[in-house]
Copies of this chain bind each other. A is one copy, B any other.
Amino acid sequence: MKDDIILLAHGAGGKKSADLIGGLFLKHFGNPTLNVLGDSAIIRNGAHTLAFTTDSFVVDPLFFPGGDIGKLAICGTVNDLAAAGAQPIALSAAFILEEGLEFEVLERIVDSMSRTASEVGVSIVTGDTKVVPRGSADRMFINTSGIGLLPAQEYPSPERACVGDIVILSGTIGDHGMAVMTCREGIRFSSEIMSDCAPLNDLVAKMLEASPSIHCLRDPTRGGLAATLNEIASQSGVCIEIEEEKIPANEDVRVACELLGIDPLHVANEGKMLVIVPAQDAEAVLSALREHPLGERAAIIGRVHSEPTGRVHLKTSMGSLRILDIPAGDLLPRIC
């Protein structure tokens, strides 16, 4: 059924997001570069190949355990470039501010962006500021776009997963989404759940040193690991099978998800990379990940099969096999 109005689910990274992208944006904007729907667009420009990406951030609250909207805005865009195998060369920052926003809040966020960009080693080279009247926006939204440089001729792409490839996850799932959600809702657990928000460009560089022939890299943000795996399975025309038991997750996140009835496979991550790699390179990539502070809990979680194409199968801890679909609703609005 076609919707008459925009729903929260259209921004949640699941089924309705895919409908909106396919049914509206690709219909009007469609072109070979956009249609790939990678985390970054790949632009060939003479001898160089560029990656280009954009993301708006509307997270609520602005500050959460482990990060804030500013850190998130830098990491999100750096990670989308990293997922193309690119090193960032320039970022933009565009602010939509609500009249009345405390200057001190804005400065803390700008400072956080600046520190994160320094850590990455990239500059914010261009920007924009708009202010809208009270009530026309909720405090502040940030857009960051980024340009990255692809050193290699071959680069990871969501279309490149091959039968026999190994699926690796760089660490625990669900931390970012549950950190924001429990913070926003005022839910307390034995310890505070911290967002995993982190820039992954260095981690990706180390992986590409270990194996220049990585087939796919994706950061599983909105829609979580489930959405990302489904997108790759569909775009590569393969079946991906993962094993529930092998997926790393922090205990607090597991408990929080269980209490709230949320599947951790649907929860956004902001400091994790999903890697699909030829079997002969899997151990080298896994070692490279585990040697890195942001990849200590990396694990092999599955394998790529031929059939049924476009499907993701989850082997549960009980030993049964179930279809892992992309999330249908709007479980977690304004997570990023």
The interface of chain A, by Cβ under 8 A from chain B, is 2-12, 17, 20-21, 24-25, 28-29, 31, 33-34, 40-41, 43, 45-48, 50, 52-58, 60, 89-90, 92-104, 106-107, 110-111, 113-114, 117, 123-133, 135-138, 141, 143, 145, 147, 149, 330, 333-334
Please judge, given known A-B contacts A128-B55, A131-B11, whether A143 and B94 are in contact too, CB under 8 Å. Answer: yes
Q: In the complex, which residues of chain B have a beta carbon less than 8 angstroms from the beta carbon of A147? A: 43, 50, 52, 147
- Report the Cα distance A46→B330, complex, angstroms: 44
A59 → chain B, closest Cβ, in Å? Answer: 10
Cβ of A54 and Cβ of B127 under 8 Å apart? Answer: yes
Question: Nearest B residue to A38 by beta-carbon distance?
Answer: B126
Q: Is the CB of B34 within 8 A of A125?
A: yes
Of A40, A89, A124, A145, most buried by chain B (CB within 10 Å of CB) is A145
Specify which chain B residues have a CB less than 8 angstroms from the CB of A103 in the assembled complex: 2-6, 24
Residues of B near A125 (CB, < 8 A) are: 31, 33-34, 41, 43, 52
Contact A102 B4 (CB under 8 A): yes
Q: Which 5 A-B pairs have the closest CB atoms?
A: A11-B131, A54-B92, A145-B145, A41-B125, A41-B126
Q: List 19 A-B contacts (CB under 8 A).
A: A4-B104, A6-B97, A12-B131, A29-B93, A29-B124, A31-B125, A34-B127, A41-B126, A43-B89, A46-B47, A52-B147, A53-B92, A54-B93, A56-B94, A56-B130, A94-B143, A128-B143, A132-B138, A135-B138
In the complex, the answer to whether A131 meets B7 with C-beta atoms within 8 Å is yes
> Contact at A17–B54, with CB atoms within 8 Å?
no
Complex contact B90–A126 (CB within 8 A): no
Shortest beta-carbon distance from A322 to chain B in Å:
29
Copies of this polypeptide in the complex: 2
The answer to whether A54 touches B129 (Cβ under 8 A) is no
**Cα of A201 to Cα of B25 in the assembled complex, Å:** 24
The residue that A130 contacts in the complex, of B2, B33, B53, B58, with Cβ under 8 A, is: B58
**Out of B54, B107, B132, which one reaches A24, CB within 8 Å?**
B107
Give me 20 other A-B pairs in contact (C-beta within 8 A), A9-B131, A24-B103, A25-B129 excluded: A4-B102, A4-B103, A7-B99, A10-B131, A11-B97, A24-B110, A29-B93, A31-B123, A33-B90, A41-B90, A52-B125, A52-B147, A54-B94, A54-B145, A56-B96, A58-B132, A130-B334, A135-B135, A143-B143, A145-B145
With the chains together, A128 CA to B135 CA distance in Å?
Answer: 23
Which B residues lie within 8 Å of A110 (CB)? 24-25, 28-29
Point out the residues of chain B lying under 8 angstroms from A138, CB to CB: 132, 135-137
Say yes or no: B97 contacts A10, CB within 8 Å.
yes
Q: Contacts of A12 on B, CB cut-off 8 Å?
A: 131
- The answer to whether A24 and B56 touch (CB under 8 A), given A131-B11, A137-B136, is no
Contacts known (A6-B98, A138-B136); A131 close to B41, Cβ less than 8 A: no
Q: Are A55 and B6 in contact (CB under 8 A)?
A: no
Please pick, from B7, B10, B29, B92, the residue contacting A145 in the complex, using a CB distance under 8 A: B92
By a CB distance below 8 angstroms, the chain B residues around A33 are 90, 123, 125-126
Q: Which of A20, A55, A130 has the most CB of B within 10 A?
A: A130
**Which listed residue (B10, B94, B129, B143) contacts A20, Cβ 8 A?**
B129
